[in-house]
Amino acid sequence: MTTQNGLHFLLIACPAQGHINPTLQLAKCLARAGHDVTFATTANGVRLINVPTNLDRLSFATFSTGFDDGVKPSDDPRHVAEEFKRVGSKSVYNLIVSLSNQGRPISLLIYTLMLPWAADVAFLCIQSAAAFAIYHRYFDGCKEGDGKSPPSCVELPGLPLFQSRDLPTFLLPSSPHYFAAPTFEDHIRVLERDPNPTVLVNSFDALEEHAIKAVDHHDGVKMITIGPLIPSAFSDMSDPSDTSYGCDLFQSSTDYLSWLGSKADKSVVYVSFGSMAALRRKLFEEILHGLVQTGRPYLWVIRPMTHNKIEGEEDEVVIGDIVKNGVGLIGGLEDQGLIVPWCSQVEVLSHRAIGCFVTHCGWNSILEGLVMGVPMVGVPLISDQPTNAKMVEEVWQVGLRVKGNEEAGAVDREDIRVCVEVVMGEERGEEIRRDTKKWMELALEAVMEGGSSHSNLAGY
């Protein structure tokens, strides 16, 4: 990437960990290449960002969403989405004008998922190309159909059929998250109005060749892969000091590292369900018992004060009963399980002791697991996670998807046990580890100088 263009990028991210991380990593890549970059999110998000001081071309700004003090569980999600769009679009416009008045006009604005109002310019897809292709086909089907019956399955050339259990939950009328479907449709309609629609994708060509071709050829949208957007110290090594994304919405200690250090190579099951999803009590108990029955050591990240009103108060996991003083050992199982409120996931997944990743299949987690070469057991809950879990098991073959009714939060402890044992065992486990190693090498190749993602970003 050259510096002679003198570009000033404005990157706008939704104030959630899974949105901020890849966008902030892209911001660091652009700043290292000599471009001026302004990264904008809410005031709460900016306060938690801590990036290296040597990136003097990277600056930060805030915009308002109308909910600067946070969203309350009692707030109507539809009202939140409407206010987010109304207040956010005005605030971002004012930010652009202010930067221009300071003599720093914006050359290019890049916005993430959930922010289609930001712009008609360049869209950074923080989900997989497969998920984006499904959104495109799904809303095309709604437009061409009777308008009352959304497609129950989606077919993409070269990939297995995506049935209702494999679709992003935002597209399922039976899902409590269906209220967000119009926002995703807005993304598609914005691109349809663009004479030269372009989507930057946090993925790499070899991983999602068929999904990218499906969108390019059928829908006329140019998809440019620029990922995996992972801290440089764990990927292309262009900046060994870049050991974290630079933003943690939750506090953590590093005590878990000494615990991991006491375990044998590839012996530990790492469990995390990301920064958003809340576990129902029944699901928590089934996963816990399944892990215990494996007899293998496990490190489980459970965020403090996890609440989800959609799930119902009686089903909430009360973290205070589990985690004591930031780090907790399950009573009577001190030699087997460690529960922590948060951790550096890239650091954990790169640790020699980790042999399996039980994951909600959020896209950032999938990419981190691939880059670190860790086989996975998928327990998808919401959003694009069911789609990613299908790809993990059936397409990339780097893990297994736990069977059960994920939408109802129901899986069986025996299924958890069996999946972990298969992934960490012989025969099928060896095949999964071999495929995982293959994708790890391809992921790292993509971000190295001359690789597909490195070249795509340089050419963009």
- Kindly report, residue by residue over 280-291, the tens digit of the pLDDT: 888 888 999 999
Angstrom distance (rounded) from CA 257 to CA 273: 19
> Residue 356 CB: number of other CB atoms within 10 A?
30
Structure confidence at residue 398 (pLDDT): 99
Whole-prediction pTM: 0.84
Instruction: Tokens for 281, please give them.
Output: 């009590």
> Residue 178 CB: number of other CB atoms within 10 A?
14
306 falls in which pLDDT band (50, 70, 90)? very low
Averaged over 179-204, what is the pLDDT?
86
Share of the chain above pLDDT 90, in %: 52
Mention every residue, 6+ apart, whose C-beta is less than 8 A from residue 359.
Answer: 271, 272, 273, 365, 366, 369, 376, 377, 378, 379
Structure confidence at residue 109 (pLDDT): 86
Structure confidence at residue 78 (pLDDT): 76
Name the residue with higher pLDDT: 268 or 80: 268
Structure confidence at residue 53 (pLDDT): 64
Name the residue with higher pLDDT: 4 or 42: 42
Name the residue with higher pLDDT: 5 or 237: 237
* pLDDT of 438 above 50: yes
249 falls in which pLDDT band (50, 70, 90)? low
Averaged over 396-418, what is the pLDDT?
86
Active site residue 19: yes
Of the listed ranges 66-80, 114-128, 329-343, the one predicted with least confidence: 114-128
Q: Are strands 222-225 and 410-411 parallel, antiparallel or unpaired?
A: unpaired
Averaged over 413-429, what is the pLDDT?
97
Structure confidence at residue 5 (pLDDT): 53
Amino acid making up residue 448: M
Structure confidence at residue 82 (pLDDT): 80
Structure confidence at residue 144 (pLDDT): 55
Looking at the DSSP bridge assignments, the partners of residue 400 are 377
Averaged over 309-327, what is the pLDDT?
41
Averaged over 125-148, what is the pLDDT?
78
Instruction: Tokens for 457, please give them.
Output: 């970003």
Averaged over 308-314, what is the pLDDT?
39
* pLDDT of 457 above 50: yes
Averaged over 12-31, what is the pLDDT?
91
Averaged over 337-357, what is the pLDDT?
95
114 falls in which pLDDT band (50, 70, 90)? low
Instruction: Tokens for 385, please give them.
Output: 């996670």
Of the listed ranges 136-145, 192-201, 336-345, the one predicted with least confidence: 136-145
* pLDDT of 308 above 60: no
Averaged over 148-175, what is the pLDDT?
88
Amino acid making up residue 103: G
* pLDDT of 436 above 80: yes
* pLDDT of 3 above 70: no
Angstrom distance (rounded) from CA 113 to CA 290: 34
Which one of the listed residues 8, 19, 35, 187 is annotated catalytic?
A: 19
Domains of the chain: 8-232+449-459 (3.40.50.2000), 250-443 (3.40.50.2000)
Angstrom distance (rounded) from CA 410 to CA 283: 6
Angstrom distance (rounded) from CA 132 to CA 109: 20
Of the listed ranges 88-102, 204-218, 237-251, the one predicted with least confidence: 237-251
Structure confidence at residue 320 (pLDDT): 42
Averaged over 290-299, what is the pLDDT?
96
Instruction: Tokens for 454, please give them.
Output: 């490195």
Structure confidence at residue 128 (pLDDT): 96
First to last CA, the chain: 8
Share of the chain above pLDDT 70, in %: 83
Which one-letter DSSP state was computed for residue 264? P
Angle made by CA atoms 127, 132, 133, in degrees to the nearest 5: 145
